[in-house]
Amino acid sequence: MAKSRDNKSELLKKYQSILSGHNGFLLVDTSNLDTLSITSLKMKLKDIGSDFMVIKNTIFKIALQNENKDIKLQDFDGQTALIVVGDDPSAAAKLVKEVQADKKLMNARMGLFQTEFLSSERVMALADIPSREVLLAKLLGSLNSPLTGFMNAATGNARGFVFVLKGLSEKGN
Q: Are 82 and 29 in contact (CB under 8 A)?
A: no
How many whole angstroms from its chain centre is CA 43? Answer: 16
Q: Edge-to-edge, what's the strand order for the sheet holding 51-55? A: 51-55, 80-85, 24-29, 107-113, 116-119
Interatomic CA distance for residues 30 and 17, integer angstroms: 23
pLDDT at 70: 59
pLDDT at 21: 77
The pLDDT profile of the chain, 173 residues, written as one tens digit per residue, is 566 888 888 888 888 888 887 778 888 887 777 788 788 888 888 888 888 888 888 888 888 877 776 566 556 677 888 888 877 778 888 888 887 776 666 777 777 777 777 777 887 887 788 877 888 888 888 887 787 777 777 787 888 888 888 888 888 66
pLDDT at 104: 63
